Amino acid sequence: MATFQAYHKYAGGNVTEFSITGYNDFLTSYFVRVLPLYRNLKTLILNNKPLDRPLPYLLKDQIPQLTKLYLGPKLSLTPDFLRSFLLSSSSTLEELHVLNLPGAETMVQGCRWYLDEWPTLEKLKVLELDSRVRTVVHLKPFLHMAPNVEAAWFDGIPYKPMELKVGWENLQSAFIGSRAQALIDRQEDIGPCFKSDMRELHLEANQLSQRFCRSGILSSVWVDGMLSLAHHPPVAIPEWTRLEKLSLIVRKPMLDVEFDSLVRPGLELGTLREMDIRPMPFDRFFNPISGRPEIPSWLKSDNITHISLTGTAVVGIQDNRYLEDIILGVVDRFPGLRSVDIGDEQYTDTLLAKIIMKGIKIIYYGGHDQPLRYDLKEWAKNKHGAVFVSHPEPELGGERKSPIAPGQGIANHSPLNENDPLQQVVEYSTAGMGFSD
């Protein structure tokens, strides 16, 4: 306690961020006793190893000014502990990140997430949830607990897409991971299940129909000179009016009409800034008769700053003699491009060099079997001010790091101003402080 009292005195009582990593004994023995020292606390980050005993409950109004709460993926939580946290800061909390949500089997008999005992978080704007337990809690209770959410990230949780649309009327940004189970009634859930005025959408699934409801619309089309009936498209896709970021990671390549309906409105309206489609349907960018490259005329925009160039093996063109023409042709359609993601693609150094010479400043790449040549990196950096950035390829259903940095959230990525004396940070970890479990 003396150590924390000394830090409190040194900071003049103005500590606004508290981060605890890897110090379990402190969490279970001293945490609740230390918190009263930090009445001005606004951000709390707990990112520990699994605990061997339950955490103590917080008292009401123990952290009255807390606006951001991050509970990491290795932190073992009970529903009662989480409830005490939310009750303690229910009137101020704006961001909530729970990456190891307690399972339904841990609930006390008769207690459910949606009962009156759980507070309503009126000010909550950012919500991040993940669960890997066997019996998971449905997303629906959180729609009632946090009715004003604007940015949501969730994975490993069942949900009903139509309830998501109706329950969170203010939702502007959504990330739905591959382990999130969409409970779609193919008879009842017909029509768009996302709002048309969303700004950011990131979806992962085996196929598109696992994230979108059915359209149920039949229209007549001409196919090879004959009139045919077909769904256009088979899933209901909103007519986006404000979409700025679109990310779709699926195993099964989407249909032409699905790709068209998802991407074209944002390009033609000029709202779309970032587009990450995996796999990109490169195989559709060929003339069906001549076999030569023929990129759709509408696939262009001056406002796109980032795209992914992945999926050549999935769609079967990795050995096509026109591969380089297709890739460079796509890049040419977006003169404002500043970064591209090539994932695990084995593009030649020549092709990468040509991409850089078109003005690309950042190339993201995944876990190549052969690392990029040093001289290529040096040439890109010295001659064109471009860099290669290594990052793991998204793995459907696999472990992942949260796309939201602790304490930042989806809506606000700006870090604390280290030069501002009113934004002092206290961080405790096992490294360098003599603490041990």
Q: How far apart are CA 8 and CA 280, in angstroms?
A: 53
The CATH number of domain 1-174+406-437, selected from 3.30.70, 3.80.10, 3.40.50, 3.40.250: 3.80.10
- Name the helix (H) or strand (E) containing 331: helix 323-332
**Helix or strand or coil: residue 343?**
strand
Is the pLDDT at 421 greater than 80? The verdict is no
Whether 352 contacts 327, CB under 8 Å: no
Q: In this structure, are strands 226-231 and 218-223 parallel, antiparallel, or unpaired?
A: antiparallel
Q: Which of 72-81, 124-133, 248-257, 311-320 has the lowest mean pLDDT?
A: 72-81
Tokens of 135: 């019996």
CA distance 342 to 400: 19
Q: How many CB atoms lie within 10 A of CB 398?
A: 10
φ, ψ of residue 157 to 5 degrees: the values are: -130, 135
Parse the chain into domains and list their residue ranges: 1-174+406-437, 180-272
Does the pLDDT of residue 175 top 90, yes or no? yes
Where does residue 49 rank: exposed (0-12), middle (13-18), buried (19+ CB within 10 A)?
Answer: middle
Q: What angle do CA 304, 272, 215 make, to 5 degrees?
A: 135
Mean residue pLDDT of the chain comes to 79
pLDDT-above-70 percentage for the chain: 71
pLDDT at 296 over 60: yes
Q: DSSP assignment, residue 292?
A: S
Residue 289 buriedness (CB in 10 A; 0-12 / 13-18 / 19+): exposed
- pTM given for the model: 0.81
Residue 145's Cβ-count burial label (10 Å; 0-12, 13-18, 19+) is buried
Per-residue confidence at 104, pLDDT binned at 50, 70, 90? Answer: low
pLDDT score for 415: 29
- Which of 176, 172, 177, 102 has the alpha carbon at shortest distance from 141? 102
Indicate the residue type of 187. Q
Task: Determine the Cα–Cα distance for residues 24 and 221; give it in Å rounded to an integer.
Answer: 64
Mean pLDDT over 205-213 rounds to: 86
Predicted confidence (pLDDT) per residue in 223-248, tens digit: 454 444 444 557 778 888 899 999 99
Amino acid symbol at 220: S
Mean pLDDT of 305-321: 94
The pLDDT value recorded for residue 256 is 87
Q: What integer pLDDT is reported at residue 216 of this predicted model?
A: 59
420 or 63, higher pLDDT: 63
Cβ partners under 8 Å of residue 206, min gap 6: 178, 250, 251, 252, 396
For range 211-217, the mean pLDDT: 73
- Tell me if residue 409 falls in helix, strand or coil: coil
β-bridge partners, 337:
none
Of all residues in the chain, what percent carry a pLDDT higher than 90? 43
Q: How far apart are CA 194 and CA 198, in angstroms?
A: 8
The helix/strand/coil state of 356 is helix
Hey, what amino acid is at 217? I
Select the more confidently predicted residue: 83 or 387: 387
The closest of 353, 362, 283 to 323, measured between CA atoms, is: 283
